[in-house]
Amino acid sequence: MNRTAKTKGKVFLVGAGPGDPRLLTRHAEQIIRQADVILYDKLVDKRVIELASPNAELIDVGKDPSHHKVPQHKINELLIQQSEQGKVVIRLKGGDPFVFGRGGEEAEQLIKCGIDVEVIPGISSAIAVPAYAGIPVTHRKYASSVTIVTGHEARGNQLQWDVLAKLSGTLIVLMGVGTLAENLSQLMQHGKPIETPAAVIARGTTEQQQVVVGTLGDLQQKVQQAGVSAPAVLVIGDVVGLREILKRDET
């Protein structure tokens, strides 16, 4: 889009979905094709980024668990600076912007600066990744509720493990591979039965998807033996047992 400096810009917080580019929404694709600037995360599939106009400026602000290529405050500054130049700016995130994506924080900051913001939701890995692995997060017979938490909080002991351990539904832990042993241990220490079914799904919805199924008691060992690494989703609950019936052909 050709714009003058006097034209007011806009920021779109866009969810790119869990990995498979076919899960990108039509609205998201439309905006990506129109953008002047795209700040994208590490987990966004390159085929999604390639939808951008040849004239669009692409800025890699991807994050690793132990290393932030561009600190969050710098990302905020970039969004503000680019939009104040009258540009259509996209903050492109894996999954959904408001599900542990810091989209809420970014939206707050932008609105405080008087910048127009629109959120385009994406399919969250919390539901899509288990689904691709043949695990429905709810099921009338096995789980009438689902709880989603972030594994990054485990090291700070901010999660209420005593409460989580007592829940009868499905527990989804995102970004929890690095704290897997602690996550499982905390649940068992607070009374979750050791035989509770559990699964780790790495690189879910992509061609490299890897699924490891076990119980709270043996999953950590199985994950280590399989050499699983992030990004991955941890699913805990009886719905994991449905994988043998519902799983796709993964050969």
DSSP codes joined into one string, 91-131: EEESB-TTSSSSHHHHHHHHHHTT-EEEEE----HHHHHHH
In this structure, the answer to whether residues 150 and 84 fall within a common structural domain is: no
Is 36 a catalytic site residue? no
User: Average pLDDT of 54-75?
Assistant: 83
In this structure, the answer to whether residues 160 and 193 fall within a common structural domain is: yes
Q: Which of 20, 41, 45, 96 is catalytic?
A: 41
Q: How confident is the model at residue 64 (pLDDT cuts 50, 70, 90)?
A: low
Split into its structural domains, the chain has a count of 2
DSSP type of residue 222: H
Is 175 a catalytic site residue? yes
Residue type, 166: K
How confident is the model at residue 155, as a pLDDT?
A: 52
How confident is the model at residue 154, as a pLDDT?
A: 45
Domain of residue 130, residue span: 125-244
Q: Which residue has the higher pLDDT, 65 or 57?
A: 57
Using the predicted structure, report yes or no on whether residue 172 has a pLDDT greater than 80. yes
How confident is the model at residue 5, as a pLDDT?
A: 40
Do the Cβ atoms of 73 and 34 come closer than 8 Å?
A: no
Question: Residue 2: inside a domain, yes or no?
Answer: no
Q: Which of 99, 120, 141 is the last residue of a domain?
A: 120
d(CA 202, CA 154): 19
Q: Is the model's pTM score more than 0.75?
A: yes
d(CA 23, CA 36): 23
Q: Which of 10, 36, 93, 175 is catalytic?
A: 175
In this structure, the answer to whether residues 102 and 156 fall within a common structural domain is: no
How confident is the model at residue 6, as a pLDDT?
A: 46
The interaxial angle of helices 72-84 and 103-112, nearest 10 deg, is: 40
d(CA 66, CA 152): 11
Question: Residue 5: inside a domain, yes or no?
Answer: no
Q: Which of 63, 188, 218, 222 is catalytic?
A: 63
Tell me the average pLDDT of the chain: 92
